[in-house]
Amino acid sequence: MARKSSKQISLPMGLPASRLRAECDPAKLGFKTTKTLKPTHEFIGQDRAIDAIRLSAEIDHKDFNLYVLGREGTGRHTAVAQLLSQAAERRPTPCDWIYVNNFDTPHKPHAIKLRPGVGSALKTAMQGLVDDLAIEIPALFDSEEYQTQRRAIEEELGQKHEEPIADFAERAQAEGMALLRTPMGFMLSAIKDGKPIQPDVYQALPEDQRDEIDAKIARFQKQLTEILKQGPQLEKEHRQRVEALNAAMAERSVSARVEEVETQFADTPSVTTYLDRVRADMISNAELFLVADGQANNGPFPDVVRKHHQDAIFDRYAINIMVSHETGPGLAPIVREDLPSLGNLTGRIEHVSEMGTLATNFTLIKPGALHRANGGYLVLDAHRLLSEPYAWDALKRCLQSRSISITSLAERLSFSSTTTLEPHPIPLDVRVVLVGDRRLHMLLTLLDPEFGQLFKIQADFEDDLPRTAGNTRALARIVAGYAHKENLRPLTADAVAALLDHAVRLADDTKKLTLGLGALTDVMREADFYAGRHTHDLISDDDIRAAIHQAELRASRIKELMQEAVTRNTILIDTDGRTVGQVNGLSVVGIGTHHFGRPSRITARVRMGTGKLIDIEREVELGGPLHSKGVLILGSYLASHYALDVPVSLQASLVFEQSYGGVDGDSASSAELYALLSALSGVPVRQGLAVTGSVNQNGEVQAIGGVNEKIEGFFDICHARGLTGDQGVLIPASNVDHLMLRRDVVEAAEAGRFRVVPIKTIDQGIEVLTGTAAGKRRKDGDFPASSINGLVEAKLRGFAQVRRRFGDQTPRQNNGQTG
């Protein structure tokens, strides 16, 4: 294309150095070191989130559970811990909860609610009760008093049984009958010559004598039958009377001891009710204490100091404390569960191996975080909670039912076939605080309808706060507070200023300070280390900068490799000269938490066509949707700005050269448009400049992210090759407020060796890039012929005319062929 002569526009100076980096003035901080500064642990810039946490912590209504969302390092956990602690001090100490044996249905243990501190006292009292009775009851049953009474019963009932047998034996003997024993029972026989009659002798007897013997035997058999039938009844009576005696004896001792415990807990009706059941069970199972006595093996210690309550047979009288609190001023618990598995959350039922089988009882019920937090607050990490199988489901179930039911994972999955328990659910009054990120909150809101019902409050933590003088000083006090809390060296005012500059850089906005305090405190701790290494008493600004620099250095391996590839021309990036249809675009590469900018060569090629704009990145599926959107906007821009009276007869292709990892975002759309305009106009682009910014259909250049990294990325390449003074970056004018560039970039700009040029429109940008006027439509509707826009429009009209001529020729050729 013929190049029209045009007046060359010189390269603008770009922004002054003061606009490239808005440093904090240490003198305005009002202190020399943080040592003299009153530390604060208040929260700044998080009023919305703080109010939400306070509301959730103090409101009594159910389901006002809290989801705390925000970025890592914004102080979410600290704020939650601090605010919940304050709220907990105003709430009463919750009750103790224990599990005790259900004597009627052992697999359904009873839960008992007790005043704070009573659980431990009751446990100790029950252990003492068992120990006392384990000594007293055996002694009682060994006493002569008991033995005499028992023998009297046996004597009476034994005689009651013996007398009829004795009478029977005497009668039988008197009538010449003998009682014989067989393996199966007794047999009666007539006596002949002092011996039981033999069958042959019997057969030889006259019939009347045989009949007489038979009748006699039948009579005695009947009598013996009647006597023996009384046996079981007498045994039953014996058993009942001995049991009654045992109960009466045990009752005296048990009642006396249980009464002592009842007196201790007289003001707790639930305990007295339980103790009534204990008394009844101990009386009816007094033999347990005798068995324990028989197993005595206390080594060298006397039996009286033996801890009988540790014997498994007395587990039935144990107290299983699920949660116990100290008596004293009110303080609700704040429980943080770092491993919120199903078992750790709702508690679990353990088993022990007994004779090769798994057995359990109520003493093996273990409390979970919900038990410990009952009456207070439970803080959980949302991501960890959702990662644990069935934990989220169980938490919701407990919150909905307002009770803690213990169900094991094995039981849920029907993997367990051993005996298990169904403990009575414990009423639940807890405020759950989930700490997570925004994405998880959004997903839960969208996908789990119950989430919104149960977690009615969200505390959304700000990422940054306005950079006002007040906020700056407040952040300085927080820095001082952290140094004090973490026992770091005090910071000089210069160090604090450097740290606040870093906070501005992290916020990506000179009008804001980051609230990612985690990142700032990381820098402080590392700086404290460097200060210590240099045996300084204070952390200086050099220590702060060293910490920041070292952190960047540690993460810059990939960045340096990429820069090396550019400087060695492995990746082709021109930083001087002029080229048609080629622009240096800028992108940001993220490696973990570290980001850096890198230039990319964007080229455009045009020819006559049917109005098709080919985005090669998109064609090969290396371009993301946002990038494709930007490219489509370019097409629309061209179609709506040039040669409006003819069809768009352009075929253009755009490509990010040497890009193999995919491109997304629209921040390169202005660079792509410049490349297209250069290709259409045939005017070369200054290669010492790089471009960033998105564009809309009106040709306005719009703000992008990562502006600092992009400028520094191109600066590093130019610096490595040698700064010429003609190099610089075109940025959207709306990004000027976001500039917080490195000091070396600012110094280069100040020296006139590098420039940052704010751009508002495409026309403005193309003028800077080409040094040629963009040109405005005149009254006659045309652009100046030598302007970029004029050249572009002429090119497009030319394509349209060629296309029309081509269209006219083609039917004729076709007709000739067919005719």
- Note if 667 is an active site residue: yes
Answer yes or no whether residue 644 interacts with other proteins by CB under 8 A. no
Residue 218 or 553: which CB sits closer to other proteins? 218
Which tokens go with 195? 């011996």
Hey, how many other C-beta atoms are within 10 angstroms of the C-beta on 711?
A: 26
Residue 183 or 449: which CB sits closer to other proteins? 183
Q: Which candidate, 29, 70, 43, places its Cα nearest to that of 482?
A: 43
Stretch of 188-196, 266-274, 626-634, 774-782 contacting other proteins, by CB under 8 A: 188-196
Map the footprint of other proteins across residues 131-150, applying CB under 8 A: 147, 150
The active-site residue, picked from 123, 512, 559, 710, is 710
Measure the CA–CA gap between 97 and 323, rounded to whole angstroms.
Answer: 5
**Cβ of residue 293: shortest distance to other proteins, in angstroms?**
14
Hey, how many other C-beta atoms are within 10 angstroms of the C-beta on 413?
A: 10
**Cβ of residue 186: shortest distance to other proteins, in angstroms?**
5
> Given the DSSP bridges, would you call strands 464-466 and 512-514 parallel, antiparallel or unpaired?
antiparallel
Please say whether the dihedral angle defined by the alpha carbons of residues 414, 419, 425 and 429, taken in this order, is positive or negative. negative
**Cβ of residue 206: shortest distance to other proteins, in angstroms?**
15
Answer yes or no whether residue 245 interacts with other proteins by CB under 8 A. no
Residues 812, 659 contacting (CB under 8 angstroms): no
Binding mask 338-357 for other proteins (x = CB under 8 A): --------------------
Task: Please tell me whether residue 173 adopts helix, strand or coil conformation.
Answer: helix
- In the set 183, 294, 302, 661, which binds other proteins (CB under 8 A)? 183
**Cβ of residue 413: shortest distance to other proteins, in angstroms?**
47
- DSSP 8-state assignment for residue 592: T
- In the set 1, 81, 205, 228, which binds other proteins (CB under 8 A)? 228
Which tokens go with 27? 């003198």
Answer yes or no whether residue 157 interacts with other proteins by CB under 8 A. yes
Q: What is the residue whose two structure tokens read 């020729």?
A: 809
**Cβ of residue 136: shortest distance to other proteins, in angstroms?**
19
Residue 217 or 410: which CB sits closer to other proteins? 217
Stretch of 196-204, 300-308, 571-579, 718-726 contacting other proteins, by CB under 8 A: 196-204
- Note if 62 is an active site residue: no
CA distances to 500, 544, 721, 743, 772 from 557, rounded to whole Å, are 26, 22, 19, 21, 40
Q: Which candidate, 351, 421, 343, 428, places its Cα nearest to that of 389?
A: 343
Which tokens go with 409? 């994972």
Residue 231 or 807: which CB sits closer to other proteins? 231
- In the set 8, 105, 143, 198, which binds other proteins (CB under 8 A)? 198
Stretch of 70-78, 227-235, 428-436, 761-769 contacting other proteins, by CB under 8 A: 227-235
- DSSP 8-state assignment for residue 317: G
- Could you give the angle at the alpha carbon of 613 between the alpha carbons of 611 and 614, nearest 5°? 135
**Cβ of residue 220: shortest distance to other proteins, in angstroms?**
9
The active-site residue, picked from 667, 669, 678, 694, is 667
Residue 187 or 608: which CB sits closer to other proteins? 187
Measure the CA–CA gap between 365 and 351, rounded to whole angstroms.
Answer: 9
Quote helix, strand, coil % in the chain, to nearest 5. 50, 15, 30
Which tokens go with 105? 């249905």
Residues 313, 287 contacting (CB under 8 angstroms): no
Residue 153 or 736: which CB sits closer to other proteins? 153
- In the set 36, 225, 387, 801, which binds other proteins (CB under 8 A)? 225
Residue 22 or 165: which CB sits closer to other proteins? 165
Measure the CA–CA gap between 112 and 128, rounded to whole angstroms.
Answer: 20
Residues 80, 523 contacting (CB under 8 angstroms): no
Answer yes or no whether residue 179 interacts with other proteins by CB under 8 A. yes
Answer yes or no whether residue 202 interacts with other proteins by CB under 8 A. yes
Which tokens go with 524? 């402080």
Q: Which residues contact 292 (CB under 8 A, 6 or more apart)?
A: 134, 308, 311, 313, 314
**Cβ of residue 245: shortest distance to other proteins, in angstroms?**
13
Residue 153 or 409: which CB sits closer to other proteins? 153
**Cβ of residue 213: shortest distance to other proteins, in angstroms?**
9
Which tokens go with 45? 């810039």
**Cβ of residue 384: shortest distance to other proteins, in angstroms?**
58
**Cβ of residue 276: shortest distance to other proteins, in angstroms?**
32
Answer yes or no whether residue 103 interacts with other proteins by CB under 8 A. no
Q: Which candidate, 560, 525, 536, 789, places its Cα nearest to that of 680?
A: 789
**Amino acid in the structure at residue 633:** I
Quick one: CA torsion of 162, 164, 169, 175, rounded to 10 degrees?
170
**Amino acid in the structure at residue 547:** A
Residue ranges of alpha helices (H) inside 727-787 are: 743-750, 762-770
Residues 428, 367 contacting (CB under 8 angstroms): no
Q: Which residues contact 7 (CB under 8 A, 6 or more apart)?
A: 772, 773
Residue 232 or 299: which CB sits closer to other proteins? 232
Which tokens go with 578? 């002029």
Answer yes or no whether residue 180 interacts with other proteins by CB under 8 A. yes
- In the set 25, 47, 51, 235, which binds other proteins (CB under 8 A)? 235
Residue 191 or 639: which CB sits closer to other proteins? 191
Answer yes or no whether residue 231 interacts with other proteins by CB under 8 A. yes
**Cβ of residue 205: shortest distance to other proteins, in angstroms?**
12
**Cβ of residue 349: shortest distance to other proteins, in angstroms?**
39
Stretch of 194-202, 277-285, 460-468, 548-556 contacting other proteins, by CB under 8 A: 194-202
Measure the CA–CA gap between 269 and 96, rounded to whole angstroms.
Answer: 14
- In the set 42, 89, 163, 287, which binds other proteins (CB under 8 A)? 163
Residue ranges of alpha helices (H) inside 534-668 are: 541-554, 557-567, 616-619, 625-641
Answer yes or no whether residue 169 interacts with other proteins by CB under 8 A. yes
- DSSP 8-state assignment for residue 709: H
- In the set 55, 81, 197, 565, which binds other proteins (CB under 8 A)? 197
Stretch of 189-197, 443-451, 545-553, 744-752 contacting other proteins, by CB under 8 A: 189-197
Residues 757, 12 contacting (CB under 8 angstroms): yes
Answer yes or no whether residue 196 interacts with other proteins by CB under 8 A. yes
Measure the CA–CA gap between 812 and 809, rounded to whole angstroms.
Answer: 5
Stretch of 156-164, 464-472, 557-565, 730-738 contacting other proteins, by CB under 8 A: 156-164
Stretch of 166-174, 298-306, 483-491, 782-790 contacting other proteins, by CB under 8 A: 166-174
**Cβ of residue 280: shortest distance to other proteins, in angstroms?**
26
Residues 188, 217 contacting (CB under 8 angstroms): yes
- In the set 36, 105, 186, 468, which binds other proteins (CB under 8 A)? 186
Stretch of 184-192, 442-450, 475-483, 529-537 contacting other proteins, by CB under 8 A: 184-192
# binding residues, other proteins (CB under 8 A):
47
Binding mask 204-223 for other proteins (x = CB under 8 A): ----------x--xx--x--
Residue 320, H or E segment: strand 320-323
Interacting residue ranges for other proteins, rule: CB under 8 A: 147, 150-151, 154-155, 157-159, 161-163, 165-166, 169-170, 179-189, 195-199, 202, 214, 217-218, 221, 224-229, 231-232, 234-235, 238
Question: Which residues are known catalytic residues?
Answer: 667, 710
